[in-house]
Amino acid sequence: MQGINIFITSVLFCLPFIPNIRSGEEELVDWKASRKLSWSDYKANPDRGSGAAASTTTYLGIEYSIKDKTLSYKIQCSFSKDRSWGLNKTDYILAHEQGHFDIAEIFARKLNKELSEYSFNTSSCKKDLQEIYERIVKEKEDMQNAYDRETNHSIKKDKQTEWLKKIAALLDEYAAYTNYD
């Protein structure tokens, strides 16, 4: 079995609040518990030279606005159909890829938790929000890398099973922070 390669893109929007944060022509799928990824979502051409069985691209973005010392924000956790591809399209590999998308969702919820607990400070708000976002993204990337390293890109089936249980437990742990848009 070939290893799986994951590309993570993180985006921070420091713009006025806009209801729809998607931009450009890229086709995205927002994370939803009721909507799992399928191989038909993977539209990019496989990189046959990479040695990877699949590649998943996710985005964690935020838009926020400040009005009358009140912070409003919208977080987006999405999967890019146009940047993701599958070469070895098995249910097992798809479950591993779904794990990557679910990890991105865990950190969208963590970001929502941190922002909901943030004490507004007029003089440092922009810097504070940037630091919170960058720290959460780093934690997300560290977990994505640990997931691939410890499972050897899903090859270690016992570790893959452990990780999927861990991911499910973390989704449950942060369930209170699911509604972030």
Question: 52 or 145: which carries more pLDDT confidence?
Answer: 145
For 170, the token pair is 């973390």
> How much is the pLDDT for 55?
93
> How much is the pLDDT for 1?
32
What's the whole-number mean pLDDT along residues 137-149? 95
> For residue 117, what are the domain limits?
3-177
Residue 130 CB neighbour total at 10 angstroms:
13
> How much is the pLDDT for 64?
86
Mean pLDDT check: name the lowest of 2-11, 59-68, 74-83, 151-160: 2-11
> How much is the pLDDT for 21?
40
The residues that bridge with 181 in the sheet, in sequence order, are none
Neighbouring residues of 154: CB distance < 8 A, sequence distance ≥ 6 = 1, 4, 53, 92, 93, 95, 96, 160
Residue 169 pLDDT exceeds 70? yes
Long-range contacts of 161-169 (CB under 8 A, 24+ apart): 163/99, 164/95, 164/99, 167/99, 167/102, 167/103, 167/106, 168/102
Largest CA distance in the chain: 56
> How much is the pLDDT for 67?
82
> How much is the pLDDT for 66?
81
- Give the span between the Cα atoms of 75 and 181, in whole angstroms: 6
> How much is the pLDDT for 24?
63
Task: Write down the pTM of the prediction.
Answer: 0.86
What are the pLDDT digits (tens) for 110-125?
999 999 999 988 888 8
What's the whole-number mean pLDDT along residues 99-107? 98
> How much is the pLDDT for 65?
84
For 92, the token pair is 């097992």
Tally of domains in the chain = 1
| Burial of 59 per CB tally in 10 Å (0-12, 13-18, 19+) | buried
Neighbouring residues of 32: CB distance < 8 A, sequence distance ≥ 6 = none
Sign of the torsion angle spanned by Cα atoms 103, 107, 108, 112: positive
